[in-house]
Every structure is written in structure tokens, then in C-alpha cells.
Amino acid sequence: MQPDRRGFAPGARWEVHGTNRPSLFRRPSPSGVLLVLAIEPLERWAFQLTGERLDVEIRLSVAAPDRTVAVLSVTGPWLIGLGKSLPRSALARLHALCQTAASL
């Protein structure tokens, strides 16, 4: 991903490059733009993936001093294979990333 000069602010655009794995409805190496819609630091991040036509929102809340609850909502066209597994796998990857950072 390559951010524009606005970085992580609402209205910022990030150039996104996908994997080289084609699917029935997706060509290999897709690219698009991640448009930041809203930011509430440490609580909420909303963005749109223009190439995939996905609207994504991540909400974080403190459950305990050492625990955070993450809620992910994804909406988009059903033709791209948007199912229950996409948000679940995205949250699993986010958890793995946070665990890695916590062990540093």
C-alpha cells in the first residue's frame, strides 16, 4: 500500500495492490484505492476499497486492561465472494498481527 500525503486522515487515499491469485470474478494482481472515510483514534476506522467496492468499519473497545474487543463489519457485492469467512479471516489476521506486536 502506498499512502497519499494525507496519510491516515479522513479523505486520504491509499494505493492498494492485491495478490497475484486470480479467482472466478477477479483478475490477478488487482489494484485499487483505499479511501479513508472516518477516523476516531483508538476506537473506529472506516474505509472503502474502491476496486472491490467494499465498505469496511473496524471498531475497537477496551474489555480489560490487557484485552481489546474488535468488531469488523464489511459490506459489498456478493459477486466477489463476500461471505462470512472474509471478515472472520481478516479479524484472525489482525489478532495475529497484534499478538506479534505484543511480544516485541
Domain positions in the chain: 2-102
pLDDT of residue 8: 80
Tell me: the pLDDT tens digits for 78-93?
655 556 677 778 888 8
Residue 30 C-beta-side C-alpha neighbours within 13 Å: 15
pLDDT of residue 39: 94
Indicate the helix (H) or strand (E) that contains 13.
Answer: strand 13-17
How many whole angstroms from its chain centre is CA 32? Answer: 13
Tell me: the pLDDT tens digits for 9-59?
899 998 887 666 665 555 555 678 899 999 999 899 999 988 778 899 999
pLDDT of residue 31: 72
